[in-house]
Amino acid sequence: MRLSFTKPHCAAIAMSSLLSVAQVSHAAGYVYSNLNFPFSGIVVQGVRGINANGEAVGNSFNPPNGGRQTAYLYNGAGFTTLNVPSSNVTYAMGLNNSGEVVGYFDTYTASYATLQQGFLYTGGSYTILPVSEADGINNSNEIVGNSANGAFIDNGGVFTYLNYPNAIPGGTNAYGINDNGEVVGTFVDAVGNHGFTYYNGIFTPFDAPNAAPGATQAYGVNNSGEVAGTFQDAHGVSHGFLDNGGNFITLNCPFSQSSFTAPSGSGSTYAYGINAAGAIVGAYQGADRQYGYKAVLSAVPLPAAFWQLGSAFAAFGGFSRRKCLLRRN
C-alpha cells in the first residue's frame, strides 16, 4: 500500500541569492565549484543528483538540528527541505526533469533497529514506496533502487528485479536510470564492487581502468549513456570518473584535502550524478568532512552569476550505502 502526505510537512527555505560559491577552480578540463548551503551552521556535504534544468537534490549535515541529516530540493527559486512525516532521517537520492524526487527514510524502533523505506516526492506530497530505497527516476517516472528482493525497476508499480549473475546474494544495487531505460549500478562478487549497465535484459560489467580490484561503483547515467561513478585506487584514495562509451576520465576535485596539513587535491572525490549537458555532481573529502561540488567542462560558457542563481547544491557526500537495518518490502 502507498501512503501520501501533503506539503505542510516540508518547508520552503531561503532564496538562491543566499547561496555562496566558496571557490571556483579549473582542473583536468573541468571547472569545479565548491558549494555552501545558505543556512547558518549547516554543513555542505555533497550533491546526489542533478537534472537538465539545473535542479538538484542531496543531503546536508545539520549541527543545529542535533547533527541530523537534512535532505533538500533546490528548484531554481530556493531550497525546500524534505522530511518524510514521522521519519527520523530522510535522504534525497535522485530527481527527474519534472522535479520529482526519490529517496528513502529511516525510522528508529523501540528496540533501536532501523526501518528503511523508499519514497517519491512530487507536487508537495510524499508517496511511500514498498521498497527499502529509491535511488533514481527518469522522465517516464521509472524508478530504480533496492529492496529485499534485490535491485529493481519500478514501472508504474510493475517491478522487474535485477540480480547480476555471480553476484553474492543481495549484492546487486541499482542507482540510476535514463530515459532510454538504461540502468547503472554496482554488483558485489568475491573480489568486491564492480560497475554495471543494464539494458534490454543484458548486464554489461565494467571496472575503472585505474581502480584497485573490486573498487568501482556506478551511480548516474544520462541520456547519452555517459556514466558517473567512483573508484578507489591502490592507495585507498577515491576518485570520480566519467565513462563515455568505455573512454574514462578521472575526476579529482582540486578542493579535496586528506587532512588539515595536506595539500589541496590530496583527498578523495566522489561522483554521483550527471545531467544531459554532462555536468557532474558529487562530494569531495575536506580536511574535516565531505563537501559538495559541481563540475562542468571548461569549454562550456558559464553565466556571470554562475551558481548564485540557478544551479546550487548542498548535500550528501560519501554517504555510506550499507548499514544494519530491517528492510520492508
Q: pLDDT per residue over 135-168, tens digit each? A: 999 999 999 999 999 999 999 999 999 999 999 9
The residue count for the chain: 329
Give the residue with greater pLDDT, 140 vs 310.
Answer: 140
pLDDT value at position 254?
92
Give the residue with greater pLDDT, 238 vs 6.
Answer: 238
CATH code for the structural domain at 4-320: 2.120.10.30
Judge whether residue 6 has pLDDT over 90: no
Give the residue with greater pLDDT, 152 vs 54.
Answer: 152
pLDDT value at position 27?
55
CA nearest 54: which of 224, 241, 308? 308
pLDDT value at position 313?
37
pLDDT value at position 168?
96
User: What is the pTM (predicted TM-score) of this model?
Assistant: 0.81
**Can you read off the three cell numbers belonging to residue 182?**
538504461
Judge whether residue 67 has pLDDT over 70: no
pLDDT value at position 291?
84
Give the residue with greater pLDDT, 191 vs 10.
Answer: 191
